[in-house]
Structure formats: structure tokens, C-alpha cells
Structure 1
């Protein structure tokens, strides 16, 4: 069993690997007294516990996350996780297939919004991802 400090350290490491230092540094710089406990919670729980589990690789975790974000219309988070999916080894073609598949189960308007965000992410992505 891990301590909170160990989970926080593990979570911060995974969060940086998946989302990139620039994003994490920006998020940390924007922490306020209002958001401090929430940021600590997601670092320990989402990244330190869930994203650190051995049962799924990061490509599959990204796939599940993208689908859930599309299903719930969480557009602000989707771009960040599409970039993370590319860093986690998914190709642009695979991401497009995930969005297409999501259109059947999450709705065509949701997939349409997701494709618009994906196009922006793909356009800004480095050539090597």
C-alpha cells in the first residue's frame, strides 16, 4: 500500500509522461487555494492510482479516455487527451477510428465536435508523432 506522498510522486511522474511537462507546469502554475485540493486529488488518484495500474497500457487508457470524453462532451479536456494519445503511441489514423467508432455509440454531433478538435491537434502535432 502506498502513502499519499508516494502516490503523489508517482502521479506527477505519470502525468508528466502522458501530458508533457509544459502542460503540467502550466496547470501547476494556475493552482489556487480553491483548486489546490482538487489538483492534489487528481494527481494522487487519477494519475498515481488509476493511470499507474498495470492492467492496461497507456495506448488503451488513452482510447478509453478519449471515448469517455466524447461521450460526455468534455471538449476542453479532449484536445489535451488527444495530444496525450499521440504521445502514448496512437497514430492519427487510430485516433480518427476511435472518433468514428464513438460516433455510433456517442452520437454523430459528438463525433463531429471531436473531429474538429482532432484536426486542430493533428495540425499542431510534431511530425514524429
Structure 2
């Protein structure tokens, strides 16, 4: 697949996993540098998802959740945690993932991510 085909595949997967509303907001800025930046992020981050390989979208989602939680990137963690209905990750898997994060990356990372998860679940009405 050529570079344009790879970018298009990455864009499509980003929309599939995060939803049209999020991607439309992220790409709405008419500034040419912002558009270039969005293409770069899409090709780098979502290009990894679109390349195929041995990991399923669910597995990739779990990895992204773990890495963003471990790094304390709660805005990105929230984005991906709110997209699990599209990626196939269950609430029980996120709960277990947060135990792993807390054990291997520290309690502050686990606690912060747990707060995000609790807030997201409260917003959708499914409790803690």
C-alpha cells in the first residue's frame, strides 16, 4: 500500500475506533499546520493499528489504555476508555488493567485512571 493508502486506512480506523464526532472536532481547524499535524498523528498512531499484524483492535486498545494510564496522560486515557464499546474492551478488562497499572506503574497512575473510569461510567449510567 502506498503512503496515501496507508493514511486513508489509518483515518478510517481512527474514525471507526473513536467515532466521527471526535475526529470531526479534532480535524476541524482550518489552519494548514493543524491539518498537517493531524495527518502526522493519524499516520503515526493509527497507522500502527491499521498495519494489521498479530494484535487485534481489542488488544491494541488494551495496550493504549495501559500506556496512557501509565504515562499519566489522562486526556488520552479518557478518550480511549470512552471508545471501548467500539474496540471490544469490557469494563471488567479495564478494571483488571487498572490493577496491573497500579502494581507496575504506581498507585498515582492507577488512581488517576480509576477516577476517569468511574466518571465515564457515571456519565453513561453504569456505576463504578
The verdict on a shared fold, with TM-score over 0.5 as the criterion, is yes
Q: How many residues align?
A: 125
Q: Deviation of residue 120 (structure 1)? A: 1.5
Q: Structure 1 residues 82 and 31, CA, compared in 2 at 3 Å: closer, same or farther?
A: farther
Question: In 2, distance between residues paired with 1:16 and 1:68?
Answer: 21
Structure 1, 73-82 or 115-124: larger mean CA deviation = 115-124
1:7 partner SS: helix
Gaps of 5+ in 2: none
Which residue of the partner structure matches residue 13 of structure 1?
Answer: 12
Which residue of the partner structure matches residue 49 of structure 2?
Answer: 51
TM-score by length of 1: 0.87
Which residue of the partner structure matches residue 120 of structure 1?
Answer: 119
Question: In 1, distance between residues paired with 2:56 and 2:122?
Answer: 26
Question: In 2, distance between residues paired with 1:31 and 1:124?
Answer: 31
CA RMSD of aligned residues (A): 1.7
Question: In 2, distance between residues paired with 1:88 and 1:112?
Answer: 23
Q: Deviation of residue 59 (structure 1)? A: 0.9
Which residue of the partner structure matches residue 25 of structure 2?
Answer: 26
Question: In 1, distance between residues paired with 2:99 and 2:77?
Answer: 15
Q: Is the 8 A contact 1:31 1:39 kept in 2?
A: no
Q: Deviation of residue 106 (structure 1)? A: 0.9
Q: Deviation of residue 8 (structure 1)? A: 1.5
Pairwise mapping of residues 1-129 of structure 1 onto structure 2 (< 5 A)? 2-30=1-29, 32-47=31-46, 49-52=47-50, 53-125=52-124
Question: In 2, distance between residues paired with 1:39 and 1:54?
Answer: 24
Question: In 2, distance between residues paired with 1:103 and 1:32?
Answer: 40
